[in-house]
């Protein structure tokens, strides 16, 4: 399907003009380690069921992005099996025996290649989609994400995934400083802490959109659909 033309998405603090070929859908850390029992998120004492509400809305956006032939990128937080990319400060956090690299029901916690490190089956990347392995919370730090985006002339990001106030927020801030316009669909991000989820979204759109825009998946899908209808009408 031909990529649609620019279209306005209803968003806060004001409308976001989406240019589909220049906009990547970025899916942050939708890994079993954060979303399923027995992973790193649960080892930190969190109720992982709170994150699962983001899966279905992301699935819808992902299907639309793929159907339009637009850019999709995924990230995974995790460390090398020898933990050489794990700073001591990060390693020390959490309870002894339940820290990064310790064994768990889905393999070693937050270690690349383990079962828990995989993206949840509903959002499994296609072979041609970029998967960024990141050792930090932000997706730009110590990764090739900026280079991958620049190579594809991407200037806008729809940022989805988990958790709202940690890896999503850090990534939006990093992206904003690098000149990307970021739109965050509120139903496609989630947190173990509803109050931090709300605060995270509020911070993004405050002060005239200091870090970016907030909308939701229905409004994005509606706009994408209108653009497709407009393109099809012009072509007939
Ligand atoms: C956390 C993340 N919360 N992906 N990681 O440790 O947000």
Q: Which of these is catalytic: 23, 167, 182, 188? A: 167
Region of 197 (left: φ > 0; alpha: ψ -120 to 50; beta: rest) is alpha
C-beta of 34 in contact with ligand 1 (< 6 A):
yes
C-beta of 133 in contact with ligand 1 (< 6 A):
no
| pTM for this model (two decimals) | 0.96
Q: Span 53-69, mean pLDDT?
A: 98
Cα(235) to ligand 1 centroid in Å equals: 45
Q: Which of these is catalytic: 33, 134, 137, 181? A: 134
DSSP string, 190-202: E-S-HHHHHHHHH
Strand 72-77 versus strand 23-28 pairing type: parallel
Question: Is it the case that residue 106 has pLDDT exceeding 90?
Answer: yes
Angle between helices 217-235 and 55-67 in degrees, nearest 10 = 20
* Ligand 1 mutation pick, 163, 165, 188, 196, max ligand atoms within 8 A of CB: 163
C-beta of 165 in contact with ligand 1 (< 6 A):
no
Q: pLDDT value at position 229?
A: 59
Q: Which of 120-124, 135-139, 231-235 has the lowest mean pLDDT?
A: 231-235
Instruction: Find out whether the peptide bond into 163 is cis, omega within 30 degrees of 0.
Output: yes
In what helix (H) or strand (E) does residue 63 lie, and over which residues does it extend?
helix 55-67
Question: Is it the case that residue 2 has pLDDT exceeding 60?
Answer: no
Residue of the CA atom closest to atom 4 of ligand 1: 167
167 is catalytic: yes
């Amino acid at each position: 399907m031909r990529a649609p033309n620019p279209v306005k998405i209803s968003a806060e603090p004001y409308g976001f003009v989406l240019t589909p070929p220049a906009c990547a859908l970025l899916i942050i850390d939708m890994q079993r380690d954060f979303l399923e029992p027995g992973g790193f998120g649960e080892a930190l004492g969190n109720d992982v069921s709170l994150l699962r509400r983001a899966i279905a809305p992301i699935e819808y956006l992902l299907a639309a992005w793929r159907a339009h032939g637009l850019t999709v990128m995924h990230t995974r937080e995790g460390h090398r099996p020898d933990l050489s990319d794990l700073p001591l400060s990060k390693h020390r956090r959490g309870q002894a025996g339940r820290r990064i690299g310790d064994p768990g029901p889905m393999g070693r916690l937050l270690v690349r290649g383990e079962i828990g490190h995989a993206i949840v089956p509903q959002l499994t990347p296609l072979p041609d989609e970029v998967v960024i392995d990141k050792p930090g919370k932000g997706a730009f730090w110590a990764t090739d994400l900026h280079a991958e985006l620049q190579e594809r002339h991407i200037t806008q990001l729809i940022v989805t995934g988990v958790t709202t106030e940690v890896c999503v927020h850090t990534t939006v801030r990093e992206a904003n400083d690098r000149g990307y316009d970021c739109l965050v669909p509120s139903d496609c991000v989630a947190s173990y802490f509803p109050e931090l989820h709300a605060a995270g979204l509020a911070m993004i759109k405050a002060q005239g959109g200091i870090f970016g825009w907030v909308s939701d998946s229905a409004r994005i899908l509606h706009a994408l659909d209108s653009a497709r209808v407009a393109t099809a009408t012009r072509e007939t």
